[in-house]
Structure 1
Amino acid sequence: MSLKNTAEIDRPREKLIANGPQNLTLAELVAAIIGRGTAGNDALKIGKMVSDILMENSYNTTVKEIASVDGMGPAKACQILAALELARRFPPPDRKHAVIKRAEDILPFVSQYRYDKQENVVAATLSGAHEILNIRLVTRGLVNESHVHPREVFAGAVTDRAAAIILIHNHPSGNLAPSRQDILVTEKIQAAGTILGIKLLDHIIIGPCDGFQSILEEEEESGENDADYQHAQ
């Protein structure tokens, strides 16, 4: 059945208005974004093809892949990818102001970066009670001392009046062991945080695999450092 002949209440945009976006299928969400299809493919058919691509490639989906769907094109593909990126920058409402009590508590907020093929450095800012205030992408690319500057890391923390931050970055290889550069970056950010009065609570490594690696907890075990999740004063 074409979208033109579908009951008004069942059309994606009308359904979204009536019932909220959470009640739409992935194909319907895509159809609601692009608005209309073509003579050969209505918006729902296009939505199904695009959603299949998104399910397969997730955040690694490219404009070219979506634009290859009959009835899409670069402009509509950009709409989809922009919506995808917008969504991943906001935590779900039930996790807003979540309290971080241990390293793994931050993982649901940054899981989208696990499968990225480039390294990303993300900073989570926390209140004195360790509630999440904000999560920001700091840099994309190679993680080293020259690329990860304290100015970029702490700019958002100062704006948020944060008491602490957690750094997170991904290893596309899946090897979660910290490199020498990872450790140097951690030490540099930790020293800058001490001057600013904003504690670096942890530096966590994730990747396209289960689990994570806490650099500060690893150093704590070796007696070199301290990952303290007690509330900041």
Structure 2
Amino acid sequence: MKYFITQPTEQRIKEMAVCDRPRERMILRGAEALSDQELLAILIGSGNKERSVNAIAKDLMELLDKKAVVTNDELMNIPGLGTAKATLIGAALELGRRRLPPKRRQISTPSEIYPLVQHYASRMQEHFLSICLNGAHEVLSVNVCSVGLVNRTLVHPREVFTEAVRQRATAIVVAHNHP
């Protein structure tokens, strides 16, 4: 399966070519062809006079990169998200957590890590990740340790090992993207 990496944009949906719009791309290529930001833009639906849906989705993606679980107040602090959209997104995130619990995927080769982190390839900044594993080398979590610039990120060992210690992981794998 080919994955097409698109550059996230902040332009308005109406300004985009029809073939580049998230809904149309999802219909043609499936959800796996879209970036996380584009999937959020579909959930949000539309922007407002001040901000495009893509700009709102970008801010939401940055919030979700920092925190795995967000509150309704944190969602409503994003300019352009009101009560209705914030509760819709909160409900979708919670439903995803309930219905699709993290798979305990066992890692035996480095290539098995790629599907877990491939969606970071489309990010415009470098992300340093740690993947916590249990004693059977099953994935406990994927954590963003640091978000840097377009070509580098600073990482402190404390940030890498915090979640591993908290989850009592017996092994970790580290990875980062190259925007």
Q: TM-score range by the shorter chain?
A: 0.5 to 0.7
Map of 2:20 onto structure 1: 10
Distance 1:106 1:92 in 2: 17
Asked if residue 43 in structure 1 is aligned to residue 53 in structure 2, the reply is yes
- With over 3 angstroms needed to count, the CA separation of the structure-2 counterparts of 1:73 and 1:28, relative to structure 1, is same
TM-score, normalised by the number of residues in structure 1: 0.42
Q: CA RMSD in A?
A: 3.7
With CA pairs under 8 Å and 6+ residues apart, which has the higher RCO, 1 or 2?
Answer: 2
Map of 2:81 onto structure 1: 72
Following superposition of structure 1 onto structure 2, how do residues 1-233 of structure 1 map, counting pairs within 5 Å?
Answer: 1-59=11-69, 61-91=70-100, 104-105=135-136, 107-108=138-139, 111=141, 208-211=166-169
- With over 3 angstroms needed to count, the CA separation of the structure-2 counterparts of 1:14 and 1:82, relative to structure 1, is same
Map of 2:177 onto structure 1: none
Equivalent position SS for 2:68: helix
Contact 1:2 1:42 in 2 (8 A): yes
Equivalent position SS for 1:211: coil
Distance 1:85 1:92 in 2: 11
Superposition deviation, residue 88 in structure 1: 2.5
One-letter amino acid matched to 1:2 = R
Contact 1:31 1:43 in 2 (8 A): yes
Equivalent position SS for 1:58: coil
Distance 1:104 1:32 in 2: 39
Distance 1:38 1:89 in 2: 31
Point out where structure 1 has 5 or more consecutive residues left out of the alignment: 115-173, 175-205, 213-233
One-letter amino acid matched to 2:72 = V
Tell me the percent identity: 32
Distance 1:91 1:107 in 2: 16
One-letter amino acid matched to 1:73 = G
Moved over 6 A (4+): none
Distance 1:33 1:91 in 2: 18
Equivalent pairs counted in the alignment come to 119
- With over 3 angstroms needed to count, the CA separation of the structure-2 counterparts of 1:47 and 1:209, relative to structure 1, is same
Distance 1:81 1:44 in 2: 18
Distance 2:15 2:96 in 1: 31
Map of 1:178 onto structure 2: none
